[in-house]
Structure 1
Amino acid sequence: MTRYREICADLAHRISAGTLHPGDELPGIRDLAQQWHTTTSTVSRAQRRLADAGVLELADRRRARVTPGAALAARRFLHADSVFTLTGSDDPALGLVVGALDGKLRIVAGEGSVAGLGTVRHGRADGAAIHLLHHTGIYNAPFALGMLRGLEPHLIHLWRREQGLIVPPGNPQGITGIADLAGRRVSIRRPGTGTRILLDRLLLAAGHDPDGLRGPEAGTHLEVALAVATGTVDAGLGVRSAATDMDLEFIPLTWEDFDIVLAGNALGPAAQLIAALHTPTLRDRISSLGGYDTAKSGEVTKLSDTTGQERRSHR
């Protein structure tokens, strides 16, 4: 590694770790050159490189300052070649995120939210996309704390999304809500998926036994919509965008938080993903699918036992 790259890495690590904070002013070029036992031109080159990466601000006759968004920018710089591996729950909008990251995000086979948490816990993926409603009314945080305790768990907010019943055009069965699924043939997600858990909860709340439903299991939201579109089933629970893709009708039921759970040591590889989720272009493309709220996409929450009161499901 060349000397200027070593200086870049050292500063980026200090900023990422919080030793240097947004707004902090660095020592002068000559002082830094003495500290690193190098030339002023090498220090200047390193600062220009970090300025190009959004980590530092440079101005004529002023010392370099740490930018407001330096921590994320520093992690992006340090992990420019990292690929974030994601497992867990299915969502049609994830394809747009994969495309926007140009090889920096890889989806690995997942069996839903619960299995995804286990995969992350055992170190076989960097993060898991989940949408699990706790009995306290809080999405995702209690499950992340339980499964990743001791691993400094964090949440990256992807988006809020609308779940509801997908039915054929014209709704020939006259389905208006969960209670109308009794006696119908329904496309059901696999056990352990967030959507299956949501369906079971809604059925119990409506006074129906979830085990009484009949119909084929589906692996994704689009498979649920396909089963409805082909007439294999009368209805299925899924996201609005899946119904829109198949020109089907949608009966809205609830909005839910869709987040990525990850350990603290995966924040570096996740930096490119977090930055992408903040871009208006990607947010607009996701919102245009229908049934998505991207206002807080990319927000990162470090979890603790007191986390979650602001994340209640009525949000």
Structure 2
Amino acid sequence: MTRYREICADLAHRISAGTLHPGDELPGVRDLAQQWHTTTSTVSRAQRRLADAGVLELADRRRARVAPGAALAARRFLYADTVFTLTGSDDPALGLVGGALDGKLRMVAGEGSVAGLGAVRQGRADGAAIHLLHHSGVYNAPFALGMLRGLEPHLIHLWRREQGLIVQPGNPHGITGVADLAGRRVSLRRPGTGTRLLLDRLLLTAGHDPDGLRGPEAGTHLEVALAVATGTVDAGLGVRSAATDMDLEFIPLTWEAFDIALTGSALGSAAQLVAALRTPALRARISSLGGYDTARSGEVTKLSDPTSEDRPSR
């Protein structure tokens, strides 16, 4: 590694770790050259490279300053070539995220939210997409904190999404809610998936036994919609965008938080993902699918309390 790259890495690590904060002024170029035992031209070159990456701000006759949003920019710089491995829950919009990251996101087929958290804990994936409603009414945070305890659990907010019943055009069976699923053939997600747990909870609230439902298991929301479209089942619980893709009717039931759970050690490799989620262009493409709220996409929360869902970190 050349000397100027070493200087870039050193400053980026200090900014990522929070030793240097947005607005902090760096020492003069000559002082930094003495500190790193190098030339002023090498220090200047390093500062220009970090400025191009959005980590520093440079201005004539002023010392370099740490830029706004520098912590994320520093992680993007340090982990520019790192691929983030994602498993866990399914969502049609994840394909748009993968396309925007140009090879920096590798999605591993998962078996739902709970299995995804287990994969992260075992080191088989960097993050897990999850949507799990706790009995306290809080989404995802209690489960991520519990299963990733001791590993600095964090959540990256993907989006809020609308879940509901997917039925055939014209709703021939007159289904208006989960109470009408009794006696119907229903496409079911696998046990341990967030959608299956949500359906079980809704059925119990309506006074029905979840074990009474019958029908084939589906691996994805699109498979649920496909089963409805082909007439294999009368209905299925899934996201609005899956119904839209198959020109099916959608009966809205709830909005839920869809997040990525990860450990503190994976924050660096997630930097490209976080930055992409914060771009208006990607948010607009996701929202256009229908049934998505991307207002908080890319928000990162460090978990420290099982009842705290909204503690953004830099």
So what's the TM-score if we normalise by structure 2? 0.98
Change (3 A) 1:200 1:264: same
Unaligned runs of 5+ in 1: none
Task: Note the alpha carbon deviations across 1:106-128, whole angstroms, 9 max, x for none.
Answer: 00120000000000000000000
Q: Is the 8 A contact 2:15 2:70 kept in 1?
A: yes
SS in 1 for 2:22: coil
Q: Is the 8 A contact 1:127 1:260 kept in 2?
A: yes
Task: Note the alpha carbon deviations across 1:152-194, whole angstroms, 9 max, x for none.
Answer: 0000000000000000000000000010000000000000000
Measured after TM superposition, the shift of residue 272 of structure 1 is 0.2
Change (3 A) 1:122 1:239: same
Q: Is the 8 A contact 2:173 2:234 kept in 1?
A: yes
Q: Is the 8 A contact 2:117 2:128 kept in 1?
A: yes
Within 2, Cα distance between the matches of 1:39 and 1:264?
Answer: 36
Within 2, Cα distance between the matches of 1:309 and 1:131?
Answer: 13
Change (3 A) 1:311 1:113: farther
Change (3 A) 1:113 1:3: same
Within 2, Cα distance between the matches of 1:56 and 1:97?
Answer: 27
Change (3 A) 1:253 1:207: same
Change (3 A) 1:53 1:312: closer
Unaligned runs of 5+ in 2: none
Stretches (4+) displaced over 6 A = none
Q: Is the 8 A contact 1:56 1:70 kept in 2?
A: yes
Within 1, Cα distance between the matches of 2:41 and 2:186?
Answer: 69
Q: Is the 8 A contact 2:113 2:132 kept in 1?
A: yes
Change (3 A) 1:161 1:312: farther
Change (3 A) 1:277 1:178: same
Measured after TM superposition, the shift of residue 308 of structure 1 is 2.1
Change (3 A) 1:311 1:190: farther
Q: Is the 8 A contact 2:300 2:312 kept in 1?
A: no
Q: How many residue pairs were aligned?
A: 314
Task: Note the alpha carbon deviations across 1:69-114, whole angstroms, 9 max, x for none.
Answer: 0000000000000000000000000000000000000001200000
Structure 2 residue 131 is matched with structure 1 residue 131: yes
Change (3 A) 1:51 1:310: closer
Within 1, Cα distance between the matches of 2:112 and 2:121?
Answer: 14
Q: Is the 8 A contact 1:138 1:312 kept in 2?
A: no
Q: Is the 8 A contact 1:137 1:312 kept in 2?
A: no
Measured after TM superposition, the shift of residue 305 of structure 1 is 1.9
Within 2, Cα distance between the matches of 1:232 and 1:240?
Answer: 19
Change (3 A) 1:151 1:114: same
Change (3 A) 1:312 1:161: farther
2:53 maps to which residue? 53
Tell me how large the CA RMSD over aligned residues is. Answer: 2.1
Within 1, Cα distance between the matches of 2:143 and 2:309?
Answer: 14
Within 1, Cα distance between the matches of 2:88 and 2:31?
Answer: 49
Task: Note the alpha carbon deviations across 1:229-265, whole angstroms, 9 max, x for none.
Answer: 0000000000000000000000000000000000000
Change (3 A) 1:4 1:101: same
SS in 1 for 2:87: strand
Task: Note the alpha carbon deviations across 1:117-143, whole angstroms, 9 max, x for none.
Answer: 000000000000000000000000000
Structure 2 residue 29 is matched with structure 1 residue 34: no
Within 2, Cα distance between the matches of 1:309 and 1:119?
Answer: 22
Q: Is the 8 A contact 1:189 1:218 kept in 2?
A: yes
Within 2, Cα distance between the matches of 1:148 and 1:93?
Answer: 25
Measured after TM superposition, the shift of residue 68 of structure 1 is 1.0
Within 2, Cα distance between the matches of 1:175 and 1:83?
Answer: 44
Within 1, Cα distance between the matches of 2:158 and 2:212?
Answer: 33
Q: Is the 8 A contact 1:139 1:311 kept in 2?
A: no
Change (3 A) 1:306 1:232: closer
Q: Is the 8 A contact 2:299 2:312 kept in 1?
A: no
